[in-house]
Chain A
Amino acid sequence: MRWPGRRTPPGPLDYTRRLWMQALIGLTLLFLYAPIAILVAFSFNDSRRTIVWRGFTTDWYVRAWENARLFEAFTNSLVIAAIATALSVVIGTTLAIALWRFRFPGKPVFEGLVALPIVIPEICMGVAMMVFFARLDWPTDLPWPLNLGAITIAHTAFCFPFTALVVRARLAGFDRSLEEAAKDLGASEWQTLRDIILPYLRPGILAGGLLAFTLSLDDFVITFFTSGPETVTFPVLVFSMVRFSVTPEVNAASTVLIVITVVVTVLALTLQKPTEMAEGRPRSEV
């Protein structure tokens, strides 16, 4: 309906028509993405200095690739993130299911304890980890990739509570009658878990895994305290490099990291899609 000569008031979802709203959205996007855009752009800049644009080049990517320390730190980060993610997914999912499924004495205390790594300041975790590994006399001269063990363990320790949290949130919406229906049809506990509960949890597990992956990949504080001279990760190395100056090599490596993260995220989202759609449709009954 339109009345001539009168502006129609915006509907509840129409506020994007307002100029101030558009400006606000624009500014938000600018602050979010401009730094990243600049980082990516300057990784192609044909100049050592990062301030003026001198022309396009892919040299820095080649240089970054050839920089042995940078390359090593980069692979270290990816390997640690991959292993820590896998461990976090297994431990976190098991934990979430156990907490959802079973009642046992001291359960609230236990629940609080496993959520602790989420709230403890990272710096404390870092120091604690350092002291812990020193106390254990954790060997530091193992061959690659075993020498990444300490960092991987530390990363798993602070990542899996997040995975457990996400999976539990998903479990909270689980319809128990699905589980009962499976058992009623003759499925054992194990078959029910495999055929009904885990497929239902898949989006949660993927999201939790993604969270663990990114948390591990860009962790600085805890890694800083658990890494040795042989086991430098990308964030730690970048930190030590930019103390002198930001080189386009770092820009190039960062861009690659961004691309990897984006690709992993998109992959996870597409994997998630079929089940999401299956449940996304509002059901008229029930």
Chain B
Amino acid sequence: MNGTGPTIRFDRISKWFGSQVLAVDDVSLDIAANEFFALLGPSGCGKTTLLRILAGFESPSSGSVYLEGRDITAVPPNRRAVNMVFQSYAVFPHMTVGQNVGYGLRVSGLPRREIGRRVEEALALVRLPGYGDRRPEQLSGGQRQRVALARALVKRPRVLLLDEPLSALDRKLREDMQLELVRLRQEIGITFVIVTHDQEEAMSVAGRIAVMESGRLVQIGSPSEIYEHPRSRFVADFIGSVNLLDGRVTGTDGGVTALDSAEAGGPLRARLNGTAAPATGDRAWIGIRPEKLLVDRRQPSREGNALSGEVLEIAYLGERSIIHVRLDSGKVLKASCPNERRFDARGIAAGDRVHVSWSAENGILLTD
């Protein structure tokens, strides 16, 4: 085994369904050992297809898949050292929990004693000790999920694949299971690849995220990279929410690009972050995350961008409020303000004239 190479390598994978649907479009991707990797994207972008190619249930139209340096493109799913947790759990209804978990060991011909021991071990790992004799229909959704996990993990795969494993669970249980997955991965130290369309889920469990859009990989990075430095409007908008201001580049000076924006009603400035400066005259957008906007009745004193407008409405969400501000140009910005105090000390109400400001560092310059 090649200890330094990636555990999984997708090499220029494309997948056509018929001649019309291009589900995966020329994807190349390396996933390192012991990584918790998330494939994130809107519905129909090809996440499941990519995962199924890795599991062996679909064969790519072109390109190759490598597992620890070995080309596994033509290896059938039952001979791959990867195991999958299905979205529907796919717990075998006619077997007990123990038989379910032990099935993968049974078909590989392990002695009965060894199977029993490892099944107990796996059940303990997913916190279902002593559940071996239960039948699947006697379990809750979350417990069935754990059985599916134990069943995949008992095989000691190199890679565990999870296709939207938590989407059928309610919010509270989902959050518990997310923590559980992170704990499990740390405990057994293998590579996890999770597919999800829930950006919060991806950010809370994964160390690295690949964002997909209609079959293509559009950005790969850590959760904070993807959130703070999205490379396109699509990524910025898909991960979290963003205010976009449309404009034209007027020049770059000292790493700060200036933009003339009709929507803002004046010039805007954004600091470049290692990206190349756009050409003067090009169309560009400034993206600002709602929590990075400051809303105040007084004129901001600090340097940066400041626009004025009128408060449209304030949506109270508990830990924070979303203030909708209509700029003088008619463009509406959303600002997220934490509710640090029980009694409103902000002194802002709908209809008030306010100033919205943010620093050049907090504006994301987007050209795509």
Task: Find the residue from B57, B88, B89 having the highest chain A CB count within 10 A.
Answer: B88
Question: For chain B residues 220-255, which have a beta carbon within 8 Å of chain A?
Answer: none
- Bound state CA distance, A237 and B135, in angstroms? 50
- Please tell me which stretch of B101-109, B192-200, B318-326, B332-340 contacts chain A, meaning at least 4 of its Cβ atoms lie within 8 angstroms of it: B101-109
CB within 8 Å of A: which residues of B?
55-57, 76-79, 83-84, 86-90, 92-94, 103-104, 107-108, 135-137, 141, 144, 151-152, 155, 168-169
- B104 nearest in chain A by CB position: A185
Least CB distance from A285 to B in Å reads: 4
From B76, B103, B144, contact of A185 by CB (8 A)? B103
The size bracket of the interface on A is: 20 to 34
Establish whether residues A278 and B155, one from each chain, have CB atoms under 8 Å apart when the complex forms: no
Check if A191 is an interface residue, CB within 8 A of chain B.
yes
B93: A residues at CB distance < 8 A: 200, 275, 278-279
Check if A183 is an interface residue, CB within 8 A of chain B.
yes
Establish whether residues B108 and A186, one from each chain, have CB atoms under 8 Å apart when the complex forms: yes
Establish whether residues A184 and B55, one from each chain, have CB atoms under 8 Å apart when the complex forms: yes
Establish whether residues B83 and A184, one from each chain, have CB atoms under 8 Å apart when the complex forms: yes
- Bound state CA distance, A199 and B155, in angstroms? 23
Establish whether residues B77 and A180, one from each chain, have CB atoms under 8 Å apart when the complex forms: yes
Q: A180-B84, A278-B94, A286-B89 are in contact. List 10 more A-B contacts (CB 8 A).
A: A180-B77, A184-B57, A184-B83, A184-B84, A185-B78, A185-B155, A186-B78, A199-B94, A274-B94, A277-B137
Check if A240 is an interface residue, CB within 8 A of chain B.
no
Establish whether residues A175 and B88, one from each chain, have CB atoms under 8 Å apart when the complex forms: yes
How many A-B residue contacts, CB cutoff 8 Å? 82
- Bound state CA distance, A199 and B76, in angstroms? 24
Establish whether residues B90 and A278, one from each chain, have CB atoms under 8 Å apart when the complex forms: no
Least CB distance from B190 to A in Å reads: 15
Check if A196 is an interface residue, CB within 8 A of chain B.
yes
Q: List 6 A-B residue pairs with CB atoms under 8 Å apart, sorted by A's residue number.
A: A177-B88, A184-B78, A184-B84, A185-B103, A196-B92, A278-B136
Establish whether residues B86 and A183, one from each chain, have CB atoms under 8 Å apart when the complex forms: no
Check if A284 is an interface residue, CB within 8 A of chain B.
yes
- Bound state CA distance, A175 and B141, in angstroms? 17
With known contacts A186-B155, A278-B137, A284-B141, A181–B86 Cβ distance under 8 A: yes
B155: A residues at CB distance < 8 A: 185-186
